[in-house]
Structure 1
């Protein structure tokens, strides 16, 4: 039995707890929140021993692995503490606030010889997996360019003060737009060499961004664009269009996958998943549990997570300085 501790008893911590409960031979054995009352309420719903001190939870011998779902600015410290305590770590995105923090986490995982997986959920969303398989089969040829967008209401009910300040990893790009960035990089299957970006807070009075437009130049000469917009009011959008050598591919978590040829779109059968988010987290934990049990590589590595953060760092610098910026990791 793989004992899992949840570090962060909030909105997405519950997704992880439900996922763990759905995977054979895994069990939530502990949960930690800053306030014991929150940990106790979470434990009542999902099981496990409640803690208000994460170090005490990490001392719990029944905890083999942890899900870190705490606020973004706590990711690095919690991951380092967990790895040094000998726990496997599934670290929610963003991996950390900087590529240098990511490097520290990667080094700690290597030293501890424990599994580290970054929770970039799009790698486990069913329509994205269907699209990835189509690309791997090569029936559309290689993606040449792509456009990925996540446009949504920013001030949702689960928004907290730390979401609004860049010092604590806040902003639409780090919180949500990172998914649009990730799915473009992953499905294009390339490394980003440089980025040009415009980033601002256009709709809300806050220090952190709510809008970003990015042009990505891959090291092999291909390119793509990412839109990350947290509006005040509007209709949402979350999809990606890939223009391949022999056709186009559209992926939408809600609507599934479609292939474009001859000026028409054709839906790909069995590419929808009405419960796509929860099922993706279940697949994350299935992959994590398998990697631990069989001592194999995780599907989303720390090195990949660091590259996504390096892309965001380059985008932020580009927006400040008004120039194309190299991605350094």
Structure 2
């Protein structure tokens, strides 16, 4: 028989008190069996505000938090280049890790994180929260059912503010962010494409464009071929208004439209039918379901989570867009297995 799950509340520390870190904290409010137990950020006022709202201790150094806060796990929502070193240190401290996307800024760092957690016997999960979003889950289930046939083409388009001042300065520092709109925002689209195609990206042809005076790109286009032969496209712009974030999956007998602002639609015979309307609470529910699954899996149960190999596959696809844009030609993506 499998071992009994441990008793007692599961204590989680959060590294990074920005908007995403705060989303994890808010999602954990009232959770059964686990709690946010500490918050760490080098910007003390930001950490203090979030920690006071959650009634937990605040730290300015993650190593001190690891040593003093009696944690079971950490959520890493720090700048991208810190994901790898923080994950390695957390693993060595015996802590399970839920790390935000992008998993890291290089495939090598992703592999380093996987090895560190495997050697420590701790769980490594990647926070591709879209996997837990009710609209995306419904779309994925409908595709898998085969009701409208097999996927033929997938398109993803999204706008995002990427002007100076629209986000914290580190997003525009290539050494810290690892890239611009492709690695930060485009990984959501590449993730959706892989999720709906049930396959990883095999080949990419991409172009990127920036703005004068910025180190990182702010706009991009990519044509994507997946391992199972499905073709897809990604269009990312910092200049599109109003905001849009949508994916279309062309199937044999219908097209699914998955919109972050409107919901899930099926387009068939010239008619559009809403299958699930987007609701304001869906995003918070996705964060909560993600935490629930992570904690259950970390405690030896069957909780759902996105593993490191899948997180690495998304990073590899994004990096291939950069490589293609630099070389001016189509490039292959190193093989990586599909998410469970």
Check if 1:222 corresponds to 2:257: no
User: Cα deviation per residue 1:14-66 (whole Å; 9 max; x = unaligned)?
Assistant: 10101112421111111111133433222101222111111111113521111
- Residue in structure 2 matched with residue 290 of structure 1 by the alignment: 296
Report the counterpart of residue 46 of structure 2 in structure 1: 38
CA-atom RMSD, angstroms? 1.7
**TM-score for both structures, normalised by structure 2:** 0.91
- Cα distance change, pair 61–32 in 1 and its aligned pair in 2 (3 A): closer
Q: Residue by residue, what CA displacement relative to the aligned partner does 1:138-192 show, whole Å, maximum 9, x if unpaired?
A: 1112211110111122238661111112221241122222111111111111121
Instruction: Give the TM-score taking structure 1 as reference length.
Output: 0.94
Match of 2:135 among 127, 132, 149: 127
- Distance in 2, matches of 1:58 and 1:305, equals 24
Instruction: Identify unmatched segments of 5+ residues in structure 1.
Output: none
Matched residue pairs, number?
Answer: 326
Q: Deviations over 1:289-314 (max 9, x none)?
A: 22123344643110000000100111
The 5 Å alignment of 1:97-112 reads 97-112=105-120
**Superposed CA offset, 1:186-206 (max 9, x none):** 1111121110000110x4531
1:192 aligned onto 2:201: yes
1:234–1:292 Cα change, 3 Å: same
- In the alignment, the residues of structure 1 paired with residue 324 and residue 156 of structure 2 have an alpha-carbon distance, to the nearest angstrom, of 19
Q: Deviations over 1:72-113 (max 9, x none)?
A: 111111111111111111100010001100000011111111
* Deviation beyond 4 Å, 4+ runs, structure 1: none
Q: Deviations over 1:196-219 (max 9, x none)?
A: 000110x45311010110111112
Moved more, 75-84 or 147-156: 147-156
Cross-structure match for 1:179 = 188
1:29 aligns with 2:29: no
Match of 1:59 among 67, 72, 79: 67
Q: Partner of 2:105: helix, strand, or coil?
A: coil
Residues in 1 aligned to 2:245 and 2:329: alpha-carbon distance in whole angstroms: 27
Cα drift, residue 275 of structure 1? 2.3
Secondary structure of 1:288's aligned partner: helix
1:212 aligns with 2:215: no
Tell me, which stretches of 5 or more residues in structure 2 are unaligned?
1-8, 336-340
